[in-house]
Amino acid sequence: MTGTSLTPGQRSALIRRLAHEHAFDRAGIASLGPIPRAEYALDWLRDGLAGTMGYLYRCRETRLNPGRLLSGAKTAIVVAVNYGQPCGTGFQPVRRTQHSAPRTQHSPRGRVAMYAWGEDYHVVMRERLERLLSAIRQEIDQPFDAKICVDTSAIIERELAAAAGIGWIGKNTLVLHQDLGSYFFLGEILTTLDLEPDRPVADHCGRCTRCLDACPTQAFPAPYQMDARRCISYLTIEHRGDIPDELKPRMGDWVFGCDVCQQVCPYNREPPITAESRFAAREPGLFPILNDILGWDDDDYAQQVTGSATDRASLSMWKRNAAIALANAAANEDEPT
């Protein structure tokens, strides 16, 4: 066991080494305090850009200052795990900027965002973070409190990731890394340990606006800003009501999430393939048959989404999304060639 005489910098170096040994693709340390873009986050909520995601209006204090989630917390250990999949799965993220699900005669298919292809990342990431935290406790022989966060906690993960040097917040509001691209999950351990923080990395988006230009629904009113009410991921996963008629034709064949702004990003030109086997594609698969979804009953739905992040959308939402994708497929068939 390591003695308590370690400096904050030595503890941070030890934690980064342990994270690497536990197969995290990136790890960094961030000081806890008010997030840099707190004013923007408040304005974003006040302007209603969160749409019907009422939970974002709750616990605003911790979203703006994540240290409040754990009494005495000083720092956050932030990790990233790549979920990139090989092109052999049928997904071609780097060669085409506009693409659709494969056509099957009389059986149009929809698309699912890559992050939801495999097992539920909340479960996988939490289990991996628990193992990392156990290893840290074995190596650092001093008492400390810690809290694991994976997406569902009332914090803004990308702000902590940027502060910890995991990457920078891109124009599409996702965290980007020059080598990893943006196909990665984030996780955090808030802790009372005194650690030396990492430095944020520079923004490398430059003049590129490919993500903004490619968005089918024009969900980005300006670089680094998103109107969630127009985002296909929000519409298919978070929004419980009817979808505005204006946006339906622009949703294409997406039935759960959307990857367009990531597919066109130059940093995702050659995305690394994940080493985590649990993120490999499973049902409902990359390209589910739309008519099958419309025929799901409660048992079918449970069988398809249990153990997957796709259970975030209810059965009625899956059917709503499939109906829109089916109408779009029919409209495309009717278009003159």
C-alpha span between 120 and 67 (Å, rounded): 26
pLDDT digits (tens, 9 = 90+) for 274-310: 999 999 988 767 899 999 999 999 999 999 999 999 9
pLDDT band at 86 (very low <50, low <70, confident <90, very high): confident
Instruction: Tell me what the mean pLDDT of segment 40-48 comes to.
Output: 94
- Burial category of 280 from C-beta neighbours within 10 Å (exposed 0-12, middle 13-18, buried 19 and up): middle
Average pLDDT over residues 141-169: 95
Of 120, 141, 151, 311, the active-site residue reads: 151
pLDDT of residue 59: 86
pLDDT of residue 93: 40
Closest CA to 171 of 215, 220, 113: 220
The pLDDT of residue 126? 97
**Is 141 assigned a catalytic role?**
no
Q: What is the pLDDT of residues 97-131, one digit of tens each?
A: 344 555 555 689 999 999 999 999 999 999 999 99
The answer to whether the beta carbons of residues 140 and 175 sit under 8 Å apart is: no
pLDDT of residue 285: 73
| Tens-digit pLDDT profile for residues 253-262 | 999 999 999 9
Going by their DSSP bridges, the two strands 26-31 and 75-82 should be labelled as: antiparallel
The answer, yes or no, to whether residue 91 has pLDDT greater than 70, is no
- Over residues 171-195, mean pLDDT: 97
- Give the type of residue at 37: R
For residues 159 and 201, what is the distance between their CA atoms, to the nearest angstrom? 12
pTM of the model: 0.91
Mean of pLDDT over the chain: 92
Can you spell out the DSSP letters for 133-173? HHHHHHHB-S---EEEE-SSSSS-HHHHHHHTTS-EE-TTS
Q: Checking DSSP bridges between strand 111-112 and strand 254-256, what pairing results, if any? A: parallel
Average pLDDT of span 149-173: 95
Q: Is 80 helix (H, G, I), strand (E, B) or coil?
A: strand
Tell me what percent of the residues of the chain surpass a pLDDT of 90: 84
The domains of the chain are located at 8-84+119-191, 87-117+206-273+280-334
**335 CB neighbour count, 10 Å cutoff:** 6
Which pLDDT tens digit goes with each residue over 197-245?
Answer: 999 999 999 999 999 999 999 999 999 999 999 999 999 999 999 999 9
End-to-end, the C-alpha distance of the chain in Å comes to: 70
Model confidence at 156: pLDDT above 50? yes
Residue 173 tokens read as 């509001």
Distance, in Å, from the CA atom of 82 to the CA atom of 109, rounded to the nearest integer, reads 26
pLDDT band at 153 (very low <50, low <70, confident <90, very high): confident
